[in-house]
Amino acid sequence: MKEQVMTFQFDRLVKEPERKSITSISRVQAWKLEQKGLFPKRRKLTPSGSSVAWLLSELVEWVQSREVINNYEVSNG
């Protein structure tokens, strides 16, 4: 019988100051990329949308995907 390993993934919401720190891009640039479908979508925390946040896992995945692109450009540039 195979041993089953249980893994748990924990995620959390990230607000604007931390989002900027993680991604190193401005609020405006993030918004433009989001509108084009090239950046993780923000989650509304209030019905009016005056408070928003992003999933940490999606931001990390986006940063890692950019690192792959940048590494490819450096090695092929």
Report mean pLDDT in 10-residue bins for the chain, 77 residues.
64 97 96 97 95 96 82 61
pLDDT of residue 3: 64
Q: For residue 10, what pLDDT is reported? A: 83
Count of Cβ atoms closer than 10 Å to residue 19 Cβ: 21
pTM above 0.85, yes or no: no
Question: Residue 72 has what pLDDT?
Answer: 59
What pLDDT does residue 35 have? Answer: 98
- At residue 50, the pLDDT reads 94
Q: What are phi and psi of 55, to 5 degrees?
A: -75, 130
Residue 69's pLDDT is: 63
Strands 13-14 and 43-44, sheet pairing: unpaired
